[in-house]
Amino acid sequence: MSPVTEGSRVILPGATIGILGGGQLGRMTGMAARHMGYDVHVLDPDPNCAARAIASRTITAPFTDANAAAELARSCDVVTLEIEQISRASLDAAAEFAPVHPGADAVYIIQDRLRQKSWLADHGFPVGAFRAADSAASLGAAVTELGPSIAKAVHGGYDGRGQARLADASGATDAWESLGARPCLVEQRIDIAVELSALVARRVSGEHVVYAPSRNHHTNGILTWSVIPAELPGSVVSAAEQLAAAIATALGMVGLLAVEFFLTTDGRLLVNELAPRPHNTYHHSERACATSQFEQLVRAVCNLPLGDVRVIAPGAMVNLLGDVWLHATPPDMEFALGVSASRLHLYGKGEARPGRKMGHLSTVGDTAQEALSRALACFRRLSPDSALAAGLCGPPPMLRSADGALLAELAAVDRGDAAPWRGPADSDPDREDVG
Ligand code: AIR
């Protein structure tokens, strides 16, 4: 049997794993793979990509170069990816020479924001109201219908890039132009009480494990911090875990699937976005969980037994964006690392740009609150000048958010003092209009 059709073969240490994409996620996955005795080859458009340092071979090519993807696969026993913007032609070309996990069909659905949202809605998963727009006029019409909205470019754009906020239809022309006059997904703005994510690892056999949800905080569309456990009521935790597992199964994912959720102020759990790869909100899993997300991806794509996902110590992470290097005062690594249980992770990126993820800080603690307080203290020491540090002063935001009443209500459900939480919302009647 050729390696191509032999997708369920166990790929043992000593083999070579190919990674499409060589950014920080590829670098950290590659480090876990190397730790386990695998060799790693990567493909990335940037010859100085973050994963270059850990790969024995780096192919420099765009993600649309099918010949280059085939060349990567030819020298590898299995191929995975760390960014979803790999063209379908490249995924198919790689699959001629090695198993590709996750497969092209699942990635194809996820890599287009409109296709992804429509797929979720069509499969009965709870999502907010949305519309498609392919002109300034249709963007304006969508906002007239939905009210305050966020327009997101259908392709590309991550970490807050390729997004425009609209209060009403009068901003449609500017928003359309700022997004590069490209087709976009228009999402109704949601009153968010809590942002959370869940992570599923799944093998070819369908066997899967789900990590406990992570609680997350974003600023301007970019993740600021994450903490695990999320310290949310059990009813919310189990709904998120069940939805994430159901989505991974319906997509036939092999590898990792991260599912971002919003818990709305009126108590609905909505799916925000999917990612078929390691996820920024689980960087704390290297410290907090029995198996890190990076090792888990290696296990899943190599068809090894999945690792234990239990939380062994509450953990938190705070992102270090390029902004930290652009202040008058350089980051004070020495002072920051004086915080108990702190660890510095830098990705080796040459150029610091505003909003670019350059690294992160991680911590553990006896409680989620302690882990998060330490991570935020570490960040404030490292970058006291940044506006973000100023915004992160005071008690950990997870404890002073405006959602106290909702969480108290949900906790009462857990204790049996109130009617059961009604779980994921019924499907949104608006969504059927989406093309
Ligand atoms: N990434 C992928 N999707 C979302 C994110 N953040 C990671 C991947 C990718 C890297 O970001 O690891 O390769 C690209 O980072 P940058 O800073 O070069 O744009």
CATH number at residue 304: 3.30.470.20
Residues 409-428: b if buried by 16+ CB within 10 A, e if exposed: ebbebbeeeeeebebbeeeb
Nearest CA to ligand 1 atom 17: 356
Report the pLDDT value the prediction gives residue 404, as an integer from 0 to 100: 55
Q: What is the pLDDT of residue 368?
A: 92
* Whether 254 and 386 share a structural domain: yes
What pLDDT score does 387 carry? 65
Q: State the closest ligand 1 atom to the C-alpha of 280, by its place in the atom list counted from 1.
A: 6
Residue 421 has pLDDT above 50, yes or no: no
User: Environment class of residue 266 by beta-carbon count within 10 Å: exposed (0-12), middle (13-18) or buried (19+)?
Assistant: exposed
In a domain, 381, yes or no: yes
The CA-atom distances, in angstroms, between 118 and each of 181, 331, 393 are: 21, 43, 40
Nearest CA to ligand 1 atom 18: 23
For 270, the token pair is: 């909505």
Mean pLDDT of 300-313: 98
Q: What is the pLDDT of residue 423?
A: 34
The string of pLDDT tens digits covering residues 327-379 is 888 899 999 999 999 999 999 999 999 999 999 999 999 999 999 999 999 99
- CA–centroid distance, 415 to ligand 1, in Å, is 41
* Lowest mean pLDDT across 36-45, 131-140, 413-422: 413-422
What is the strand order of the sheet 222-228 is part of? 269-275, 255-264, 192-202, 208-219, 222-228, 315-321, 357-364, 343-346
Shortest-distance Cα residue to atom 8 of ligand 1? 23
Q: Ligand 1 centre and the CA of 25: distance in Å?
A: 7
From 158, 297, 324, 347, mutation site for ligand 1 pocket: most ligand atoms within 8 A of C-beta: 158
Distance 175 CA to ligand 1 centre (A): 24
Q: Which of the listed residues 188, 210, 227 is the one where a domain comes to its end?
A: 188
Question: What is the 267 CA–ligand 1 centroid distance (Å)?
Answer: 32
For residues 184 and 196, membership in a common domain is answered with: no
> Residue 258: enclosing H or E segment and its boundaries?
strand 255-264
| pLDDT confidence band for 417 (50 / 70 / 90) | low
User: Ligand 1: which of 46, 81, 82, 297 to mutate, judged by most atoms within 8 Å of the beta carbon?
Assistant: 82
On whether both 331 and 410 belong to a single domain, the answer is yes
Asked, for residue 358, whether it belongs to a domain, the answer is: yes
Residue 408 and residue 373 share a domain: yes
Q: Is 345 helix (H, G, I), strand (E, B) or coil?
A: strand
Residue 106 falls within a domain, yes or no?
Answer: no
Q: Is residue 425 part of a domain?
A: no
Q: Spell out which residues line ligand 1, taking CB within 6 angstroms.
A: 21, 23-26, 82-83, 158-159, 356-357
CA distances from 395 to 371, 372, 400, 405 (A): 12, 10, 7, 18
CATH number of the domain that residue 95 is part of: 3.40.50.20
Confidence check: pLDDT of 28 > 60: yes
For the chain, the domain total comes to 3
Q: How far apart are CA 283 and CA 261, in angstroms?
A: 17
Are residues 143 and 81 both part of a single domain?
no
Residue nearest to atom 2 of ligand 1 (CA): 83
Q: What's the pLDDT at 221?
A: 86
pLDDT at 333: 95
Nearest atom within ligand 1 for CA of residue 21: 13
In a domain, residue 113? The reply is no
What pLDDT digit, counting tens, does each position of 160-174 carry? 788 999 999 999 999
Determine the pLDDT at residue 416. 57
Q: Residue 428: its pLDDT value, please?
A: 33
Quick one: which atom of ligand 1 is closest to the CA of 26?
A: 12
Instruction: Enter the pTM of the model.
Output: 0.91
> From the CA of 431, how far away is ligand 1's center (Å)?
30
Q: Are residues 167 and 266 in the same domain?
A: no
- Together in a domain, 184 and 198: no
The predicted model gives 256-263 an average pLDDT of 97
pLDDT (tens digit, 9 = 90+) per residue, 62-90?
Answer: 999 999 999 999 999 999 999 999 999 99
pLDDT above 90: percentage of residues in the chain: 80
Position 115 in a domain: no
175 plus 226 within the same structural domain: no
Query: What are 197's two structure tokens?
Result: 């994510």
* Higher per-residue confidence, 296 vs 426: 296
Asked whether the predicted pLDDT for residue 290 surpasses 90, the reply is: yes
pLDDT surpassing 90 at residue 125: yes
User: Which residue has better confidence, 384 or 11?
Assistant: 11
CA of 24 to the centre of ligand 1 (A): 6
Q: What is the pLDDT of residue 52?
A: 98
Ligand 1 atom nearest residue 353's Cα? 17
- Do residues 182 and 43 share a domain? no
- Cα(421) to centroid(ligand 1), Å: 37
181, 162: one domain:
yes
Q: What is the CATH number of the domain that holds 156?
A: 3.30.1490.20
84 and 210, same domain (yes or no): no
Residue 139 lies in a domain: yes
pLDDT of res. 220: 83
Using the mean position of ligand 1's atoms as its centre, give its distance from the Cα of residue 23 in Å. 5
The closest residue, in CA terms, to atom 10 on ligand 1 is: 23
Using the atom order of ligand 1, give the atom closest to the CA of residue 358: 17
Residue of 66, 63, 222 lying closest to 156 (CA atoms): 63
pLDDT tens profile 188-229: 999 998 999 999 999 999 999 999 999 999 988 899 999 999
Place of tokens 């302690």: 370
Asked if residue 43 belongs to a domain, the reply is yes
* Average pLDDT along the chain: 89
Q: Kindly provide the b/e burial profile for residues 372-406, where b requires at least 16 CB atoms within 10 angstroms of the residue's own CB.
A: bbbbbbbbbbbbeebebbeebeeebbbeeeebeeb
pLDDT value at 434 more than 50: no
Ligand 1 centroid distance, CA of 224 (Å): 15
For 50-59, 268-277, 419-428, which range has the lowest pLDDT when averaged over its residues?
419-428
Residue 120 has pLDDT above 90, yes or no: yes
Q: Looking at the structure, tell me whether residues 211 and 158 fall in a common domain.
A: no
| Residue span of the structural domain in which 144 resides | 129-188
Please state the atom number of ligand 1 nearest to the C-alpha of residue 24: 12
Choosing from 153, 170, 188, the residue where a domain stops is: 188
